[in-house]
Chains A and B, each alone.
Chain A
Amino acid sequence: MIDESKVGTKTKIVNVKVKREEIQQLCHVIDEKNHVFHDVNAASEAGFEDILLPPTYPILFWQHLEPPWLETDATIIQSEQIFSYKTPLVANKMYQCQIELLKVRTRENKQFVVNRLYINDGEKVVATSDTTLVLLY
């Protein structure tokens, strides 16, 4: 079980830059055909500097970050997800990412664990992604 005293623990900060092809792979899977996610000219016309990341794309940033508090044999189920954006995220831009263990609540053989992914452009937080996981022991 996750020790509740670990709340506030953060992963290291990792640089993440998403290629256009990676965005298109996700769009292909979910059948997202909107041009702002595929065509740099359409994105430019809509006011963006490159093609946009689909709204839920930041969850894929978890592949670059391995929160040590989730190294467990428990079955993990996601119960809630919240994305908050200050600015849209775009391809070919370097973001600095870090996950924090935000909350842990234990009830019998379950733990409800809230993890916050911070996405920064330099010093400025441009988006956060809160992922609530249920760990079943």
Chain B
Amino acid sequence: MLNRCCEIIKMKITEELITQYAAVSGDKNPIHLLKSAANQAGFPHQVAHGMLSMAIGAKLVSPLIQIGWTLSHYGVKFSSPLFVNDMITIEASSVTQSDKKIAMKVIGKNQEHNKVMHGKLELIK
């Protein structure tokens, strides 16, 4: 069953992706969209929405949801910012499984292997 899930996810955080997520989510905070606003807030580049990273991370368990598992918990902390043109890599670890529950840690890193988010996912039947 677990071979159906948890493949490593990689995605480039393009300016277009951030703009599209801002449009869909309604989160048009200028630090996501304008370099000048990001700079003013102390960041070198536009900051990707944390929720964009988290949404991408949820794809780890989509194959399990497809076969009837239900997500019960998905929580992450955003450890450091992810910037426009960064590459995020998200993977699961410490996966445990019983008949009724699957749990795993999730971690997202940028191209320099710096942790940008970490947390856990739990699914039940």
- A-side interface residues toward B, CB under 8 Å? 25-26, 28-32, 34-37, 42, 46-47, 52, 54-56, 59-60, 62-63, 75-88, 130, 136
Partner of A81, one of B50, B63, B67: B50
Chain B residue nearest to A31 (CB atoms) is B11
> Contact at B50–A54, with CB atoms within 8 Å?
no
How many A-B pairs have beta carbons closer than 8 Å: the answer is 102
Interface size (B, Cβ < 8 Å)?
Answer: 37
Q: Is the interface of A mostly helix, strand, loop or mixed?
A: mixed
Q: In the assembled complex, which residues on chain B have CB atoms less than 8 Å from the CB atom of A76?
A: 29
CB distance from B17 to the nearest CB of A (A): 7
In the complex the two chains form, what is the Cα distance from A82 to B78 in whole Å?
11
Partner of A56, one of B17, B27, B55: B55
> Contact at A32–B50, with CB atoms within 8 Å?
no
With A56-B74, A60-B25, A84-B73 known as contacts, the answer to whether A29 contacts B58 (CB < 8 A) is: no
Q: In the assembled complex, which residues on chain A have CB atoms less than 8 Å from the CB atom of B65?
A: 34, 36, 46, 52, 88
In the complex the two chains form, what is the Cα distance from A114 to B56 in whole Å?
23
| B44 at the A interface (CB under 8 A) | no
Partner of A46, one of B41, B49, B67, B76: B67
In the complex the two chains form, what is the Cα distance from A103 to B47 in whole Å?
25
In the complex the two chains form, what is the Cα distance from A32 to B9 in whole Å?
11
> Contact at A59–B75, with CB atoms within 8 Å?
no
Partner of B55, one of A34, A54, A62, A82: A54
With A46-B66, A46-B68, A52-B65 known as contacts, the answer to whether A136 contacts B75 (CB < 8 A) is: no
In the complex the two chains form, what is the Cα distance from A78 to B77 in whole Å?
9
> Contact at B70–A87, with CB atoms within 8 Å?
yes
Q: In the assembled complex, which residues on chain B have CB atoms less than 8 Å from the CB atom of A46?
A: 65-68
